[in-house]
Each structure stands twice: as structure tokens, then as C-alpha cells.
Amino acid sequence: MHMTPSAAPRPTSLIQAAGLSYFPIALVARLPFAMVVVGLLTLVVSARDSLALGGVTAAVTGLGTAMFGPLLGAAADRFGQRRVLLCAGLANSLLLVAIAWLAFAPVPDAAVLAAGFLIGASTPQVAPFSRSRLVGIIARAIDPARRDAVVSGTMAYESAADEIVFVFGPVIVGVLAATLDPVAPVLGAAALAVVFVSAFALHPSARVEAGIREGSPAPAPARELTRVAAPVVGALGMGLFFGTMLTSLTSFMADRGIAEQAGVVYGAMGLGSAALALGVAAFPARFTLGARWIVFAAILVAGTLVLPFVSSVVAMTLTLLVIGVGIGPTLVTQYSLAAHRSPAGRSSTVMTMLGSGIVVGQSASTAVAGIAAEYLGTDTALTLPFLAAVVVLLAGIVDAAIAPRRQVRFGN
């Protein structure tokens, strides 16, 4: 008598479904991007003896990432993450090696800027692709009754992972540049991209985001991406905040003769942000995503409101700790909402749209805040994070007003 094999049991956790090796690989694969902007700044300033050129190079790198990130996401949705990551990772590594030579070569500054832009354009979108990949695994492998909670916990972990690499990335750059050579961080990022971005691309979990197969449903029309307009605007607001906050804080610390310590004080905000981001998974279901966005964005607004009145480094550090409480949960909520509303077959595109929103906001606001600090003073520059926080809050309020009243469960 022929026996039909029983269906395989569902994995009990995302770690089991994705594989234990996935998480360390995906974490380290983010490091090259976290190292590149600061690494290029350090390299160009050392090679060309021009802080202005170094800053512009870092800016055009961010511009390239912002412009081409969503295109790489759309390519991954169509052709699969594996092909896109392998091609982008190889191109990015070769360009990093190229700029390490160009910076010292007798070529015009425009050649360095062009290389910086191409490096940004070819940056492997590891963080957005990881979010998209894990959301796909959850939809296929996790029990429907648990999917909402697992998505929320996953976005919390992903935001904390981003915080970790963007704290340690610049630290690694500083150590390599100080102990070896200013070229070392750039070549190190290239080597990490070859090894770990390739490992991330070739990991078995990449089959979840394998692109459009013959006979599979066509992806949703591009116009349906308007579903995630509010989270994208919210992410843009967060980018505006990051750029204005770091630049105005640097001006604040420079006024006290300790500009080099700005990164340490800024880290206080990351500490509060990462801790609360991880805590989002413990929030009760009745504390809805829309309510979370508004509550924590309001904390962000309240914290930034007092920045122009802060007069000591200790008070600034404490204020940034409070502000951090609002950042982590807000970012997690924006990505969770985007995951819930992502049109069919457009997950990688959506996640790269949010990531690009942050990069665009950060790049543009860094320049504006720098001009404000230089020509109008630190107090004026310290009002800009408040305006950025208001953008985040307003986007959350608009989203809550236009969102459907019925609860939409993930994966249904």
C-alpha cells in the first residue's frame, strides 16, 4: 500500500527557517557599506589634502546609492537577489580598488568624484535585501497566527543590526587608517564585499527571493508602490534627522574645542535607539503600528525641541539618550508597515526605497546643516533636527489618517 508522506512540520522559529549561519553572514556583509563613506572621506583627504573634496566625494557616493538602490531592488525582484548581489558586489569591489589608486594618481578631481558616484550606485543592498528575504521566509515558513509578531521582531533585529554596523564601521576605518594606511579601510571594504556579500548572495535562503519564474504570478503593477508612500516619507524624515543631528552636534562640540569627540557623544543616541528597537517585539498587539509611529515620533520631536537650549556636553549626552528612545521604534515601525503593505513581487524594491529615503535625507541635510552652522551659528543648526522630527511625525499622522481601519494581517 502506497503511503503519502506527511507534510513537513513548520519551523518553530525564524532562525530555524533561515538557517543559523544566515545571521552572522548578513551582519558582516553590511560592514562594507558602513565603512565606505567614512573610508572614502579619510582616503581622499589624505591623498588630495582637501577636506572639501573628501566631503563632496562622500556626498556623491551617498547620492549614487540613493539613486540606484531602488533600481537594484527592482532588478532583484525580477531576476533574483543572487544575480544582483553577485554582480553588484564584484563591481563595487573593483571600483573600491580603482579609487584607492585614483586618489593618489595624477588625474583630475572629477575622476575621483565619478568613481565615488559609481561606488555608491553599485553598493550591494544587503540590509534591504535581508529584510525582504526574511519577510519572504516568514510568509512561507512561519505559522500564520505568529507572522505579525515575527515580522515585528525581525524588523527590530534588522534595525539593531544596522545600528551595530554603523557604529563599528567607522571605528574599524579609524583603526585601519591609523595603524596601517588611509588606503587600508577602502581595500578592507573591498575584500569584505568579495567574501561576505558573495556568501550572502549564495546562502540557501536566497532561493526565497529568486525573481520571476516561468508560470509564476506577475508582480503587482508599479503604481501599487504608492501604498508605502508614507513609510518612505517617514524614512526620508529620519534621514533628514540623522544628517542634521550629526552635523549640528559636531558644530556644538567644535565650539567647545572637542569636535573629535562628537562621534562618542552621538553614540549615546545609538545606544538608546538599539535598545528600544529590540524591545519593540515585546509590545502588545493592541499597541498598533500606527500608534507606535505617532507615539515614538512625538518623543523624537520632544527631545529635539530642547536641543538649542542645551549648554553642556553632559546635558547633550542625556538629551541624545532620550532622543534615541524615539528613533529605534520609529524606524522599526516604518519598515514593519512597509513589509505589511509591500505589493506582490515588489518586496526588495520597497525595502530599498526606504533605505534610499534615509540616504537621500542624510546626504542633503548634512550639507544644509553644515552651511547653517558655519554662517548662522550652532544654535540655528540645532533647530534643524526638530524640523526633521516634525516631518517624521507628520508622515505618521497622515499615514494613520489614510490607512484602512481594518486590521491587515501579514501574509494573508
Average pLDDT over all residues of the chain: 80
Can you tell me the distance from the alpha carbon of 284 to that of 148, in angstroms, rounded to the nearest whole number?
11
With a cut of 90, say whether residue 179 has pLDDT above it. no
Give 51-78 pLDDT, tens digit per residue.
677 777 877 888 888 888 888 888 888 8
Q: Is 203 left (phi over 0), alpha (psi -120 to 50) or beta?
A: beta
Say what the pLDDT of residue 374 is. 78
Give 300-312 pLDDT, tens digit per residue.
999 999 999 988 8
Least confident of 197-211, 244-258, 368-382: 197-211
Can you tell me the distance from the alpha carbon of 297 to that of 230, in angstroms, rounded to the nearest whole number?
14
Contact status, residue 76 vs residue 347, Cβ threshold 8 Å: no
**In the numeric block, which cell numbers belong to residue 347?**
518586496
Contact status, residue 68 vs residue 121, Cβ threshold 8 Å: yes
What domains appear along the chain, each with residue ranges and CATH number? 21-213 (1.20.1250.20), 220-407 (1.20.1250.20)
CA 50 to each of CA 114, 156, 198: distance values in angstroms, whole numbers, following the listed order: 17, 39, 34
With a cut of 90, say whether residue 383 has pLDDT above it. yes
Least confident of 18-27, 63-72, 254-263: 254-263
CA 325 to each of CA 105, 232, 238, 273: distance values in angstroms, whole numbers, following the listed order: 46, 21, 14, 5
With a cut of 50, say whether residue 285 has pLDDT above it. yes
Say what the pLDDT of residue 409 is. 44
With a cut of 50, say whether residue 406 has pLDDT above it. no
* For range 270-285, the mean pLDDT: 74
